[in-house]
Chains A and B, each alone.
Chain A
Amino acid sequence: MRSYLLRRLWQAVLVLFGVSVVVFLILHLTGDPAALLLPPDATAEDVARFRKAMGFDDPVFVQYVRFLKGALRGNFGESVRHGEPAMHLVLERLPATFELAGAGLLLALCLAIPAGIISAVKRNTPIDYISTVVALMGQAMPTFWLGIMLILVFSVRLGWLPSSGRGDFQHLILPAVTLGLFTTARITRLTRSGMLEVLGQDYIRTARAKGVSEQPVVWKHALKNASIPIVTIVGIELGTLLGGSVITETIFAWPGVGRLSVQAIFNRDYPVVQAAVFILASTFVFLNFLVDVAYTWLDPRIRFR
């Protein structure tokens, strides 16, 4: 097990290295980072001075090493707009994003796993059809449209829930539903197909033949074995949730990293963009490492690999 986890850890480090290269390259896409960072009316002299001060005249490799050294210490430079360290701005908004993504994931798991299991157990009954149709719709529904429609119904028409901002629990409901629906739909379908597959296995028949009653067969024997693909998809969906927060946060004026990075793009505040992308990607890598650890507990066969 130790070697398995060590190997995964090494892979995570490699991936983070790759992430740093891509984030560094964002600023160099047009070939002239100075022109991107300075206002369009800067004089040629200003540009030249700025380029020298920032070291943009050095070879790209030297610049990358400097960037990496900074990034490892959490230094992505100062925000052009706020005059604060970019990293500081991002870290400040991170809890809001985690809160939203966490709520979305929790909602998805609480709805999707029971729905998927019931669908599989009551296969081809009206319950199954309804849950399948809802899941299909949920997968096809664009997040931003869902958010707008929820605001239209629950804020504008009914006036039940606030349409923007972060605060008490009520503020969390609409954004969490908006963000979580796609993930809910995906996990529902996966749980259903996973359960169907497991329920047809020999060891389930054995358990039933031994006289184990239906409840433990479904919830203990079957679910534990069906949960491996679910854990995999949760790992992937964490990326969907963190990335999807860009849209959801914009719609609901949720003060998280996603909204910050959209604003930063429009303000040409690239250090903030780089810090935001780097932090979100690293978070995702870290969480997926935790998912790998969870595997070793769920699937003992992995421990011997």
Chain B
Amino acid sequence: MTPPNGTAVALRALVEVEERQWVKTLKRLAWRRTALFGLGVVSIVLFAAAFAPWLTPFDPLEQDINHRLKEPGWQTAEGSVHPLGTDHLGRDILARVIFGSRIALVVGLSAVLISGVLGMAIGLVSGYFGGKVDDFFMRLADVQLAFPFIQLAIAVIGVLGPSLRNIIIVIGVSSWVVYARVVRGEVLSIREREFVQAAIALGSRDGRVLLRHVLPNAFTPWLVVATLDMARVIVIESALSFLGLGVQPPTPTWGGMLADGRVYLSTAWWLATFPGLAILVTVLGINLLGDGLRDTLDPRLKL
């Protein structure tokens, strides 16, 4: 057997250190009970969205006019129970809440991905090159921030027409600022570090320096921002649905269910209550997870 050469040993040691870092991070995260709670909530919501059809015997779209507005826990003649009651068209509310998580998560994840990638790119370029490019993007950020967000979103969606695609695009394209600012701030300091200066001195091209050396080091704060932003996006999606500018009925959305429930507030409180609770718990879970990630990964990050 030949002895392993020096480089391989060093590499393996590096990989091990890196792995240990991750395990450490996870352990530290697990120590924070609130973050663990958030992680639990997020896992449950993801699970519900992924396995929705198997979690409830009812079809979220199936109407049953004879059994409309039944209170939570109501039992049909055949013996099946509606744990959260039925809505004004006799649809099972629990089934609709479970299926509603799909729209929330799809919009949340897609919009965060769009704005996150956009913001990361702008932040990298802005922070790395500085000067006029930086000035331009930061003024653009000011313009973006000057708009009351919902106001702009409803105006644009009102013109383009409400659809899943349009909602994702509008939220995604207009949410890049916070990513760009945080990444830019990181890049400003990473740029001056030795390994970046060394890479530049060795003749690496800007693109390579940015992608191989700067980006990985700006990733952690980006992840924290993305997590917290996901909660905001879910609230905005439900707000748009609530106003009738979200994904259109009969597709179940939490905001749309709330809007329906609002009409029956005095007679059937459960219609508006449960989808709202779903939003509250989901958003709370994501926020707690995000706070935990920030405190563990990057305590100096001010968000």
Contact A262 B154 (CB under 8 A): yes
Q: Give the segment of A14-22, A60-68, A172-180 that binds chain B.
A: A14-22
Size of interface on A: residues with Cβ below 8 Å to B: 52
A137 to B276, CA, bound (A): 13
Contact with B146, one of A29, A137, A145, A284 (Cβ below 8 angstroms): A284
B3 at interface by CB-CB < 8 Å: no
- Interface residues in B146-187 by Cβ distance below 8 A to A read 146-152, 154-156, 158-160
Known: A26-B155, A137-B280. A250 touches B146 (CB 8 A): no
Contacts of A277 on B, CB cut-off 8 Å? 147-148, 151-152, 155
A144 at interface by CB-CB < 8 Å: yes
Size of interface on B: residues with Cβ below 8 Å to A: 45
Contact with A151, one of B244, B245, B265 (Cβ below 8 angstroms): B265
Interface, chain A (partner B; CB < 8 A): 11, 14-16, 18-19, 22, 26-27, 29-30, 36, 136-137, 139-145, 148-149, 151-152, 156, 229, 236, 239, 242-244, 246-247, 250-251, 258, 261-262, 265-266, 268, 270, 273-274, 276-277, 280-281, 284-285, 288
Contact B231 A243 (CB under 8 A): no
A185 to B143, CA, bound (A): 26
Q: How far is the CB of A9 from chain B (nearest CB, A)?
A: 13
Contact B148 A145 (CB under 8 A): no
Contacts of A273 on B, CB cut-off 8 Å? 155, 158
Q: How far is the CB of A252 from chain B (nearest CB, A)?
A: 11
Contacts of B238 on A, CB cut-off 8 Å? 142, 144
Chain B residue with Cβ nearest A288: B146
Contacts of B283 on A, CB cut-off 8 Å? 139-142
Contacts of B243 on A, CB cut-off 8 Å? 246-247, 250, 262
Contact B148 A239 (CB under 8 A): yes
Contact B280 A156 (CB under 8 A): no
Contact A285 B146 (CB under 8 A): yes
Contact A36 B159 (CB under 8 A): yes
Contacts of A280 on B, CB cut-off 8 Å? 147-148, 151
Q: How far is the CB of A186 from chain B (nearest CB, A)?
A: 11
Known: A36-B159, A148-B261, A265-B158. A22 touches B143 (CB 8 A): yes
Contacts of B275 on A, CB cut-off 8 Å? 145
A-B contact pairs, 16 of them (CB 8 A): A18-B142, A19-B147, A29-B156, A136-B284, A136-B288, A137-B280, A139-B287, A140-B231, A140-B283, A144-B239, A148-B262, A239-B149, A246-B154, A247-B239, A276-B151, A281-B148
Instruction: List 3 A-B pairs, minimum CB-CB distance, nearest first.
Output: A243-B148, A145-B276, A18-B143
Contacts of B269 on A, CB cut-off 8 Å? 152
A146 to B218, CA, bound (A): 37
